[in-house]
Amino acid sequence: MGAEGIDPDEVRHVARLARLELSGEEVERMAGELAGVLRHIATIDELDLDGVEPTSHVVSVENALRPDVPRPCLPRERALESAPEVADDGFAVPSPQA
Amino acid sequence: MAELEVVIGLEIHVQLATQTKMFCSCALSFGDPPNVHTCPVCLALPGALPVVNERAIHLGLMIGMALGSELAPRSTFHRKNYFYPDSPKGYQISQYDEPLCRGGTLEGVRIHRVHLEEDAAKLIHLGSSGRIHGSQTSVVDFNRGGTPLVEIVTEPDLRSAAQAREWLELLRATLRALGVSDVNMEEGSLRADANVSLRAAGSSELGTKAELKNMNSFRYLERGIGAEVERQSAIISGGGEVEQETLHFDPASGHLTPLRSKEDAQDYRYFPEPDLVPIAITAAMLGAARAAMPELPAARAARFESELSISPERARQLAFRGDLGDFFERAVSASADGVAHARRIADWLTGEVLARLGDADPASSRLEPGALAALAALLADGVVTATAAREVLDALISDGGDPAAIVAERGLGAIADSDGLAEIVARAIAADPDTAEQVRSGNAKAIGALVGPIMRETRGRADGAELQRLIRAALGVGD
Amino acid sequence: MSDASEIIALSAAAAAGAVGAGDLDAGELFDAYRSRAGADPLNAFVWVAEEAPANGAGPLGGVPVAVKDLFCTEGVPSQSGSRILEGYRPPYTATVVERIAAAGGPLLGKTNQDEFAMGSSTENSAFGPTRNPWDDSRVPGGSSGGSAAAVAARLAPWAIGTDTGGSIRQPAALCGIVGLKPTYGAVSRYGMIAFASSLDQAGPLTRDVTDAALLFAAMTGARDPLDSTSLEYPAQVVLPTQRDLRGIRLGVPAELTGEGIEPGVLSSFEATLDLARELGASVEPCALPHAGHALAAYYVLAPAEASSNLARFDGVRYGYRARGASDLLSMYTQTRHDGFGDEVKRRIMLGTYALSSGYYDAYYGRAQRVRTKISEDFAAAFERFDFIVTPTAPGVAFPLGAKTADPLAMYLNDFCTVPMSLAGIPAISIPSGLAASPDGDRQLPVGFQFAAAPFREGAMLEAAFALEQAIGFDGSAAAVEL
Ligand SMILES: [Mg+2]
Ligand SMILES: [Zn+2]
């Protein structure tokens, strides 16, 4: 895996996936910093992990379920109180179609 | 060029009829003013965490059982990451490699998987009237966001647009019988996407597929798939290659337009949802789902066939549309001799009644199930002719009432008296000697010209077969 | 009791006792700390309460609690140290803050932290860095540096923080106080602004082990129905009383006690092990063969989860939105560019990369398997040992700015704490004394870490208490004069 690091094109692609604007200078810097961390991460390549189960949770809980019973909702004013832009009782955003 | 075979698979999203959302305790809503059914969880406020609705698991298991799926002893949730204003967390909680149910089949169409997830919020386009610097604005309403969904994915086993529609209708009937959803395509509680591809007939490899979205009625589904089959056929017969893409069906124009450009290809970065723990199906959960299972359409059709001697096709017609099946059963049980008249009731319900009501539930008309059964009995006993019975049915559907009373009131009873009829027949023959001669000289078809006027005169109360027998007898022609 | 300095000198448990005995008025206690927190010279607090809420009764005796910024508190600024949540006041309160309040621990204020808990120095904060009360040219550690500095400086009687890879234990070590990271699931995460969900855990930062036990008891209990990963705490947490370590088997992992540890830290560690032996403990080497790879696995798993957890900061429903963006994509990308600091962006990038198509198996999948091996290492070790002990941090508090240019150097601060986080096991850091900084001009606190099997906090607190009594560390020198 990526001991070779990550090139600026990959940085731009990942930034796009993560919805992060990065200037040209930031892309270069990020590529260098990530490469350093990825080199350290690559040390796990030396481990033999065949047949090892992945761990997603360290808790052994199952079926943490909730009864299907309604509880009070937030009043609309509270739901909207922190919104950067409000229109028609909703959260306004630049239209995705635009 | 080899003959082409159409290959269709469906991905169906079903909104579950729970009281609350998938991961929070907000009540579900339809048609309420915007943003009144929200909480920290479904607004994805910082720090809020999801908790699975146990009823959604229960309904998911019922669906799995109805489809004969394998119910996973252990299933998990994943995050499907993408940015869109209708996805407040920036990911949808869905299931990935460990779904609730796998496999199964419904009427010969194999089920790939059944999994649980959450619905997106509603994004309403305001146009340039918005306040954001005069640019185009949309507004998000989170009432729907987080509604429990079951996604049902079929194998690519459907072979035509019509079959896809028919099968989806059966699935809807099944889900409706289960009571797990409102299954209303127009309102979006049942949504179907179709994967459509073509291949050389007899080939076992799949062609490149297009994914069709937004076909929000059965008619549009059939039309959309039909249009896509035509489009792909044209490409292939023109020597071109079908490209993998997502297409949006526009009901107004009937056209399909590409939804996303390829350079924006999705990378959902699925990974296990760390805020939730696995679902491990217990014996109690299975028992509760099993106990809640009603009779399903396929079983009901089989019962209609075996217990009521209904033809297989009729039986399916009745059973696969739950409202018809219910009406039928109520009609059959309305009187002591209902079972004896079951076939006639079935014929009339799927024929005459359906022709008059279309997709509307007969129970919502003024026609009472018992009245339909009584009408069938009048027919069977020869009290009314089929023609007269149609007139009675019209009256029953528009005004309700009792068939026998309508017959008496309107004088629609069959003319059972052959002497009276003989007199009318004699008059008709005298009035049209030319036709009479044709019949006499062996032109059997010409008899219709004599029957018509008599039917008009008797307003359909004469029994057609008896009438023909009388005419032939009067003209000295054998059967 | 009316002399503020007398009040401030009391541990939280002692203050609670004094209130309970009627020797101290809870309002007076609150005011004494409120005025100190309000005059905070360390930038430890980002918000201070105006007045105490009405109720005061309960086991915490009305002793006010400083709360890390990332805990949502209704109507009170809660922005996880980030510009992207500028001015955000949530409409609800985190379960753990509610539980503490219900137990008689009113909110004193919100404390500074690394943005979204990503950092080991509290320099990555939209509010600017917090300073170490032992030397204000140095960092307090992080990410719960505001909480640690506030407690060490006697600006707060006690505090809560969160620990994802060391964010309670490491600042506790660097500030000369006690920091407990509980078993994953012991404390509800509901209302904690998430960094890495499978690792985040809230815990107390206190002057001593007794205070840690008292506050921890209030944080646990019945499982929180709002957090699917929370568990009912299986035992009653009591205040520790043990004075010796007879029969206690301590395991010392070579993997976490060798290379990369400052000599001053190592000699404090060795001296503490000698004390433990004197108290009756056996001290043996113990193998944690995969612990050396924990940091690498952690820097895949935590950023991956973070990249997804931080996707909700999109400028739509709350917080900062970049002005002037006319299309949706640039609204997203500019908002997140301006709203997140450099370290947060780095981790989002790293995590997104590790999860992206074609890299998942090589990074995320492998890291999950390393995590399994690390848990297995600990499980095996706890068959032979009661506790694993290590230095908490590889070094003492470093100067502000010393590591900001080198992300990996900063990450190495968590070398000894990350393995326990991956395994989800409890760990506590207690001050083991002072050691010279590498530049030699300062005597600074060193932390000694115990780690235990899941839900063995009770026994761990007893052992830590016994050792604490023997060490006799006096942290009062860090109390700031106001
Ligand atoms: Mg789906
Ligand atoms: Zn909600």
Q: What does the block give as tokens for C92? A: 């609800």
Question: Which chains touch A (3+ CB pairs under 8 A)?
Answer: B, C
Q: Does residue B82 contact residue B90 with C-beta atoms inside 8 Å?
A: yes
* Best to test chain C binding among B93, B271, B276 (most C CBs inside 10 Å): B271
Interface membership of C453 toward A (CB under 8 Å): no
Cα(B160) to ligand 2 centroid in Å equals: 41
What is the three-class DSSP state of C141?
Answer: coil
CB-nearest partner of A92 from B20, B74, B130: B130
pLDDT in tens, C155-181: 999 999 999 999 999 999 999 999 999
Element (H or E) spanning C27, and its range? helix C26-38
pLDDT in tens, C429-456: 999 999 999 988 899 999 999 999 999 9
Question: Which chains touch B (3+ CB pairs under 8 A)?
Answer: A, C
Interface membership of C231 toward A (CB under 8 Å): yes
CB-nearest partner of B51 from A66, A94, A96: A66
**DSSP assignment letter at C364:** I
- For C130, residues 6+ apart whose C-beta sits below 8 A from its C-beta are C42, C43, C44, C111, C112, C122, C139, C140, C145, C146, C149
* Residue B128 clears pLDDT 90, i.e. is over it: no
Distance of CA B431 to the CA centre of its chain: 52
pLDDT of res. B413: 81
Contacts of B121 in chain C (CB under 8 A): none
Query: How does residue B130 score in pLDDT terms, banded at 50, 70 and 90?
Result: very low
How many beta-carbon pairs below 8 A join chains A and C? 164
What is the three-class DSSP state of C161?
Answer: strand
**DSSP assignment letter at C176:** T
Q: Could you report the predicted ipTM of this complex, rounded to two decimals?
A: 0.97
pLDDT in tens, B401-433: 999 999 888 888 877 665 578 888 888 888 888
What is the Cα Rg of chain A in Å? 22
pTM of the predicted protein model: 0.91
Protein residues within 5 Å, CB atom, of ion ligand 1: B 151
Measured between alpha carbons, how far is C289 from C294 in angstroms, rounded to an integer?
A: 10
CB-nearest partner of A68 from B53, B126, B279: B53
* Best to test chain C binding among A20, A45, A69 (most C CBs inside 10 Å): A20
Please name the residue of chain C whose CA is at the shortest distance from the CA of residue A57: C198
Task: Collect all residues from A whose CB is shorter than 8 A from any CB in B.
Answer: 17, 19, 56-57, 59, 61-71, 73-76, 79-80, 85, 87-98
Interface of B with A in 136-155 (CB under 8 A): 136-142
How far CA C51 is from CA of B376, C6, C64, C67, C183, in Å, comes to 83, 21, 11, 15, 33
Burial of A97: CB neighbours in 10 Å, binned 0-12, 13-18, 19+: exposed
Contacts of A91 in chain B (CB under 8 A): 35, 85, 139-140, 142
CB-nearest partner of B280 from A57, A63, A75: A63
CB-nearest partner of B132 from A62, A79, A92: A92
> Of B475-479, C189-193, C281-285, where does mean pLDDT reach its minimum?
B475-479
What is the three-class DSSP state of C315?
Answer: coil
pLDDT of res. B264: 59
Q: Does residue C127 contact residue C78 with C-beta atoms inside 8 Å?
A: no
Interface membership of B83 toward C (CB under 8 Å): yes
Inspect the interface and report whether the beta carbons of A40 and C299 lie closer than 8 Å: yes
Cα(C97) to ligand 1 centroid in Å equals: 36
Mapping DSSP onto H, E and C, the string for chain B reads CCCEEEEEEEEEEEECCCCECCCCCCECCCCCCCCCCCCCCCCCCCCCCCCEEHHHHHHHHHHHHHCCCEECCEECCEEEECCCCCCCCCEEEECCCCCCEECCEECCEEEEEEEEEECCCEEEEEECCCCCCCCCEEEEECCCCCCEEEEEEECCCECCHHHHHHHHHHHHHHHHHHCCCCCCCCCCCEEEEEEEEEEECCCCCCCCCEEEECCCCHHHHHHHHHHHHHHHHHHHHCCCCCCCEEEEEECCCCEEEECCCHHHCCCCCCEECCCCCCEECCHHHHHHHHHCCCCCHHHHHHHHHHHHCCCHHHHHHHHHCHHHHHHHHHHHCCCCCCCCCHHHHHHHHHHHHHHHHCCCCHHHCCCCHHHHHHHHHHHHCCCCCHHHHHHHHHHHHHHCCCHHHHHHHHCCCCCCCHHHHHHHHHHHHHHCHHHHHHHHCCCHHHHHHHHHHHHHHHCCCCCHHHHHHHHHHHHCCCC
Distance of CA C182 to the CA centre of its chain: 10
Nearest to C149 by CA among C68, C92, C80: C68
Between β-strands B101-102 and B109-118, what pairing exists: parallel, antiparallel or unpaired?
antiparallel
Average confidence (pLDDT) over C115-121: 98
Interface membership of B265 toward A (CB under 8 Å): no
Measured from the alpha carbon of residue A74, the closest ligand is 2
pLDDT in tens, B292-331: 999 999 899 999 999 999 999 999 999 988 889 999 999 9
Inspect the interface and report whether the beta carbons of A43 and C198 lie closer than 8 Å: no
Measured between alpha carbons, how far is C432 from C475 in angstroms, rounded to an integer?
A: 11
**DSSP assignment letter at C137:** T
Cα(B41) to ligand 2 centroid in Å equals: 5
pLDDT in tens, B24-52: 999 998 899 999 999 999 999 999 999 99
Inspect the interface and report whether the beta carbons of B142 and A19 lie closer than 8 Å: no
Q: Does residue B79 contact residue B271 with C-beta atoms inside 8 Å?
A: yes
Higher pLDDT, A52 or B215: A52
Interface of B with A in 283-342 (CB under 8 A): none
Q: Name beta bridge partners: B94.
A: B78
pLDDT of res. C8: 96
What is the three-class DSSP state of C284?
Answer: strand
CB-nearest partner of B54 from A68, A79, A91: A68
* Residue A3 clears pLDDT 80, i.e. is over it: no
CB-nearest partner of B267 from C304, C312, C357: C357
Contacts of C321 in chain A (CB under 8 A): 84-85
Please name the residue of chain C whose CA is at the shortest distance from the CA of residue A20: C333
**DSSP assignment letter at C265:** H
- For C143, residues 6+ apart whose C-beta sits below 8 A from its C-beta are C81, C113, C114, C117, C118, C119, C120, C122, C124, C161, C162, C164, C167, C171
Q: Does residue B76 contact residue B92 with C-beta atoms inside 8 Å?
A: no
Contacts of B131 in chain C (CB under 8 A): none
Q: For chain C, what percent of residues have pLDDT higher than 90?
A: 96
Please, what is the average pLDDT of chain A? 93
Distance of CA C185 to the CA centre of its chain: 15
Q: Does residue C175 contact residue C203 with C-beta atoms inside 8 Å?
A: no
Inspect the interface and report whether the beta carbons of B47 and C70 lie closer than 8 Å: yes
Measured between alpha carbons, how far is B40 from B92 in angstroms, rounded to an integer?
A: 16
Please, what is the average pLDDT of chain C? 96
Query: How does residue B129 score in pLDDT terms, banded at 50, 70 and 90?
Result: low
Measured between alpha carbons, how far is A33 from C408 in angstroms, rounded to an integer?
A: 9
Q: Does residue C95 contact residue C224 with C-beta atoms inside 8 Å?
A: yes
Distance of CA A73 to the CA centre of its chain: 27
* Residue C355 clears pLDDT 80, i.e. is over it: yes
Residue B383 identity (one-letter amino acid):
V
Inspect the interface and report whether the beta carbons of C352 and B269 lie closer than 8 Å: yes
Interface of C with B in 422-451 (CB under 8 A): none
Q: For chain B, what percent of residues have pLDDT higher than 70?
A: 95
How far CA B179 is from CA of A66, B81, B218, C144, in Å, comes to 21, 31, 20, 51
Measured between alpha carbons, how far is C397 from A80 in angstroms, rounded to an integer?
A: 43
pLDDT of res. B416: 64
Average confidence (pLDDT) over B277-304: 96
Residues of C forming the active site:
68, 143, 167
Interface of C with B in 336-365 (CB under 8 A): 352, 355-357, 360, 364
Interface membership of B50 toward C (CB under 8 Å): yes
Q: Does residue C125 contact residue C468 with C-beta atoms inside 8 Å?
A: no
Cα(B50) to ligand 2 centroid in Å equals: 9
Contacts of B141 in chain A (CB under 8 A): 89-90
Inspect the interface and report whether the beta carbons of C350 and A30 lie closer than 8 Å: no
* Residue A98 clears pLDDT 60, i.e. is over it: no
Element (H or E) spanning C447, and its range? strand C443-451
Q: What does the block give as tokens for C469? A: 């009594």
Cα(B39) to ligand 2 centroid in Å equals: 4
Interface of A with C in 49-88 (CB under 8 A): 49, 52-59, 61, 64, 66, 74, 78-79, 81-85
Contacts of B276 in chain C (CB under 8 A): 228-229
